[in-house]
């Protein structure tokens, strides 16, 4: 099982993805969010896993970023995160 301390970086990355996909932000702010995502993904891609010193598989990243924090409660959690982001950025509009 993953430690609760590993949740921090995952929730930050997930929040940035939601901001990029779910909200209309000004171009400068979107560029900032994209740079953060690139930085996180670059760091993840450089990590090597035991026992064969390779990068993580698709299943590893899927479990880490989606299934473990959201599996089975994804709609409820997404609504909560969208609401929190909307409160944090009152001038941002939901996309779509």
Residue 66 is predicted with a pLDDT of 78
Cβ neighbours for 54, distance < 8 A, ≥ 6 positions apart: 48
Instruction: Give residue-wise pLDDT tens across range 43-53.
Output: 888 888 888 88
Alpha helix (H) ranges present in 4-73?
Answer: 7-22, 27-46, 58-62, 68-70
Do you know the residue count of the chain? 96
Instruction: Give residue-wise pLDDT tens across range 14-63.
Output: 889 899 988 999 999 999 999 999 998 888 888 888 888 888 888 888 88
């Amino acid at each position: 099982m993953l430690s609760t301390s590993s949740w921090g970086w995952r929730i930050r990355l997930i929040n940035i993805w939601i901001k990029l996909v779910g909200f209309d932000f000004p171009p400068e702010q979107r560029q900032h969010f994209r740079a953060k995502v690139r930085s996180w993904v670059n760091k993840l891609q450089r990590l090597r896993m035991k026992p064969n010193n390779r990068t993580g598989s698709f299943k590893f990243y899927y479990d880490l970023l989606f299934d473990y924090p959201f599996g089975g409660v994804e709609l409820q959690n997404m609504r909560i995160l969208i609401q929190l982001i909307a409160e944090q950025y009152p001038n941002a509009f939901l996309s779509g």
